[in-house]
Amino acid sequence: MAAAALEEKLVCCICLELFRVPVTLPCGHNFCKRCISDHWHKQKQEPSGTAATYTCPECRRGFERCPELEKNVILDSVVELARDSEARGSGTGRCAVAPGELCRQHGRPLELYCEDERRCICCICTVRDCQRHRRVLFEEERAKKQVASLCWPVGGSTLVLMALPAQDCSELEAGIQSKFTHLRTALEDLQRQTMARIEQEKVAALERVDKNWNLCKDRLDVLSQHRERAQSLLACSDHRTFLQVPCTLLMAAESCSTHSHWECILTLAQGCDGAMGKTWFWGSLISAPSMPLLSPDHRNLTFDPDTANKYLELSKGARKAKHGASAVPGQEQGPRFQPWQVLCTQSFGPGRHYWEVKISSHSVILGVTYRGLPREQQRHRFNIGLDGGSWGLQVLEDCYLAWHKGQAEKIQEQLYKNLGVSLDYGKGLLSFYGLGERTKLIHSFHSVFTEPLYPVFWLCEGRVVTLCQRD
**Whether 283 and 305 share a structural domain:** no
Cα-only R_g, the chain: 34
Q: Is the pLDDT of residue 257 over 80?
A: no
Are residues 342 and 281 both part of a single domain? no
Reported as a single tens digit per residue, the pLDDT across 400-446 is: 999 999 999 999 999 999 999 999 999 999 999 999 888 899 999 99
Return the minimum-mean-pLDDT range out of 192-206, 265-279, 407-421.
Answer: 265-279
The reply to whether 182 falls in a domain is no
| pLDDT exceeds 80 at position 50 | no
**pLDDT number for residue 168:** 62
pLDDT per residue over 387-399, tens digit each?
Answer: 999 999 999 999 9
pLDDT value for 171: 81
Name the residue with higher pLDDT: 8 or 397: 397
Q: Which amino acid is at 221?
A: D
The amino acid present at 116, given as its one-letter code, is: D
Determine what percent of the chain is predicted with pLDDT higher than 90: 36
What phi, psi does 50 have (nearest 5°)? -95, -40
pLDDT (0 to 100) of residue 291: 42
Of 120 and 163, more confident = 120
Q: Are residues 233 and 329 in the same domain?
A: no
Indicate whether 184 belongs to any domain. no
What sign does the dihedral 242-245-251-257 (CA atoms) show? Answer: negative
Averaged pLDDT for residues 251-269: 42
Q: Is residue 141 part of a domain?
A: no
Helix (H, G, I), strand (E, B) or coil at 442: strand
User: Would you state the pLDDT for residue 221?
Assistant: 79
279 and 311 both lie in a single domain:
no
Alpha-carbon distance of 164 to 168, in angstroms, equals 8
Cross-strand partners of 465 = 321, 359
Report d(CA 164, CA 150) in Å as an integer.
Answer: 10
Within a domain: residue 162?
Answer: no
Could you tell me if 398 and 415 are in contact, meaning their C-beta atoms sit under 8 angstroms apart?
yes
Mean residue pLDDT of the chain comes to 79
CA atoms within 13 A on the CB side of 422: 25
Report pLDDT digits (tens) over 202-250.
999 998 898 888 888 877 877 887 787 777 777 877 776 666 654 444 4
Domain that holds residue 406: 297-467
- pLDDT, tens digit, 9 for 90 and up, residues 201-211: 999 999 889 88
Last residue of a domain, one of 90, 111, 135: 135
Q: Does the pLDDT of residue 82 top 90, yes or no? A: no
pLDDT reading at 285 higher than 50: no
What total of structural domains would you count in the chain?
A: 3
| pLDDT at residue 451 tops 90 | yes
Structure confidence by residue, pLDDT tens digits, 84-107 = 776 666 554 444 556 567 887 777
Of 288, 314, 329, which closes a domain?
288
- pLDDT single digits (tens) 341-388: 999 999 999 999 999 999 999 999 999 999 989 988 877 789 999 999
Return the percentage of the chain with pLDDT > 70, whole number: 77
Q: Alpha-carbon distance 37 to 411, whole Å?
A: 38
For the CA atoms of 334, 340, 345, 348, the dihedral, rounded to the nearest 10 degrees, stands at -130
The backbone torsions φ and ψ at residue 278, rounded to the nearest 5 degrees and listed phi first, read -60, -45
Answer with the one of 236, 269, 288 that is the final residue of a domain. 288
Q: Is residue 313 a part of any domain in this protein?
A: yes
Max mean pLDDT among 99-103, 131-135, 228-232, 300-304 falls in 300-304
For residue 445, the tally of other CB atoms under 10 A from its CB is 20
pLDDT band at 47 (very low <50, low <70, confident <90, very high): low
- pLDDT above 50: residue 258: no
Do 325 and 424 belong to one domain?
A: yes
* pLDDT at residue 110 greater than cutoff 70: yes
- Could you tell me the pTM of the whole model? 0.42
Burial of 251 (C-beta count, 10 Å sphere; 0-12/13-18/19+): exposed
In-domain check, residue 160: no
Helices (H), 16-137: 33-45, 73-89, 123-128
Residue 26 has pLDDT above 80, yes or no: yes
**Do 11 and 127 touch, CB atoms closer than 8 A?**
yes
The Cα–Cα gap between 172 and 134 comes to 38
> Does one domain contain both 320 and 265?
no
Q: Do 114 and 28 belong together in one domain?
A: yes
CATH code (residue 121) = 3.30.40.10
Among residues 252, 301, 284, 285, which one has the least CA distance to residue 423? 301
